[in-house]
């Protein structure tokens, strides 16, 4: 840290992303990427003609993209905004709906980025502990006087709240925004988009990184009532009006329009997840009921950190969180059937 770094952020602990080896010598099951390529129409959309237009700025309103997302989810374009990954959308959301007097409430076990962003924005955190089985105690979410973040399915647990519980949280916090972060909802959860017309304080955030195989394109979006969306856009246009590039807009439109491919890919991932979960349970692993594209697993024979290192030595990357209540668990991305079979074989060899 240089002597010029702001003292306000001197204690900042950056979010630590999963390892991203560029030589691809590993079976990479640590960052919850899709094992499938983007929809075929994505490659057609990013043509040489479109690449030649990169000297021009992208549409700051992302009109065609927001229209495509709105059509896919049965909403109006003014109920949708987009960003450079759901991370940026969530950042805009915290900037719009949190401040020194309006904390952000979130689970003690969830994305580490929430805490980091609160530190950067000088927003207080209200930490709500999960139960011993990693499930959410919705009784803790009543009358918080805070902006509420519900990660559904949660990460790294994969556990999903039913819509009835989401509604309880919305009704219990009528004067605050409730953000439902649905990065993994397409693999077996139930989206809260259907509740948008009934709750003015609901904001649903999704990403194209996981279920639409566009992690490298960086595209996320928020859906809610038009006033909430206008608030977020006010932040966006004050900071980065050209936040989604021309090619990503085209890729997002093509991905939204190919429903058959979307359902085929998410269905295949869910089927592989359930198959591997059953095999891991037979081997003695403890697992949560993951509705995401990853498994949250604990070996009864080898500590989590040791198992992570042994798998890495065998060329398989998984995610280990060296934190209380998580240290014996591994988060394992659901890859292709071939990749998952290699994982299972390696675990058997290790006696896990």
Whether 304 maps to a domain, the answer reads yes
Both 268 and 251 in a single domain? no
Looking at the structure, tell me whether residues 76 and 152 fall in a common domain: yes
If residue 81 lies in a helix (H) or strand (E), which one and from where to where? Answer: strand 80-83
- pTM score: 0.95
Residue 158: Cβ within 10 Å count? 25
**CATH classification of the domain holding 332:** 3.90.1150.10
Contact status, residue 293 vs residue 30, Cβ threshold 8 Å: no
Give residue 21's pLDDT: 73
- The pLDDT, as a whole number, for residue 17 is 72
Residues 207 and 309 in one domain: no
Give SS3 for 192: helix
Please name every residue paired with 179 in a beta bridge, in sequence order, or none if there are none: 149, 203
How many domains does one find in the chain?
2
Per the CB < 8 A criterion, the answer to whether 319 and 330 are in contact is yes
pLDDT in tens, 197-237: 999 999 999 999 999 999 999 999 999 999 999 999 999 99
Residue 4 maps to a domain: no
255 within 8 A of 39, measured Cβ to Cβ: yes
Same domain, 221 and 309: no
The pLDDT, as a whole number, for residue 275 is: 98
Q: Are residues 32 and 117 in the same domain?
A: no
> Where is the domain boundary, 235, 257, 279?
257
The answer as to whether 114 is a domain residue is yes
- Asked, as a colleague might, if the bond just before 153 is cis with ω within 30 of 0, I would say yes
On whether the CB atoms of residues 242 and 236 are closer than 8 A, the answer is: no
- As a whole number of Å, the end-to-end CA separation of the chain is 41
Q: Give the Cβ contact number of residue 234 at 10 Å.
A: 13
Assess contact for 185 and 152: CB atoms under 8 A. Answer: yes
Domain hosting 301: range is 21-37+260-350
- The pLDDT, as a whole number, for residue 22 is 64
Residues 108 and 142 both lie in one domain:
yes
What's 186's DSSP letter? Answer: G
Low-confidence stretches of the chain (pLDDT beneath 50): none
């Amino acid at each position: 840290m240089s002597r010029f770094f702001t003292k306000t952020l001197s204690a900042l602990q950056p979010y630590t992303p999963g390892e991203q080896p560029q030589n691809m010598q590993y079976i990479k099951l640590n960052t919850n990427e899709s094992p499938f390529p983007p929809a075929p129409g994505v490659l057609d959309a990013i043509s040489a003609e479109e690449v030649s237009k990169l000297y021009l700025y992208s549409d700051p309103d992302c009109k065609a993209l927001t229209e495509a997302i709105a059509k896919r989810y049965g909403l109006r374009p003014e109920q949708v905004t987009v960003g450079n990954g759901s991370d940026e959308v969530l950042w805009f959301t915290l900037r719009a709906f949190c401040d020194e007097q309006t904390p952000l409430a979130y689970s003690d076990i969830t994305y580490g980025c929430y805490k980091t962003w609160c530190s950067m924005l000088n927003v207080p955190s209200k930490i709500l502990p999960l139960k011993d089985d990693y499930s959410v105690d919705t009784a803790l979410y009543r009358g918080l006087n805070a902006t509420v973040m519900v990660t559904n399915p949660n990460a790294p647990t994969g556990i999903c709240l039913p819509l009835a519980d989401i509604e309880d949280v919305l009704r219990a916090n009528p004067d605050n925004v409730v953000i439902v972060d649905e990065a993994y909802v397409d693999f077996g959860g139930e989206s809260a988009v259907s509740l948008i017309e009934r709750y003015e304080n609901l904001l649903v955030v999704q990403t194209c990184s996981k279920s639409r195989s566009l992690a490298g394109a960086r595209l996320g979006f928020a859906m809610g009532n038009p006033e909430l969306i206008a608030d977020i856009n006010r932040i966006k246009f004050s900071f980065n009006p050209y936040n989604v590039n021309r090619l990503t807009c085209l890729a997002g439109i093509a991905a939204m329009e190919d429903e058959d491919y979307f359902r085929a890919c998410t269905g295949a991932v869910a089927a592989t997840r359930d198959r591997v979960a059953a095999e891991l349970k037979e081997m003695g692993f403890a697992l949560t009921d993951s509705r995401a594209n990853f498994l949250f697993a604990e070996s009864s024979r080898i500590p989590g950190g040791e198992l992570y290192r042994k798998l890495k030595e065998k060329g398989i990357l998984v995610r280990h969180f060296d934190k209380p209540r998580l240290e014996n668990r591994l988060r394992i991305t659901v890859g292709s059937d071939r990749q998952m079979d290699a994982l299972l074989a390696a675990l058997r060899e290790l006696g896990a």
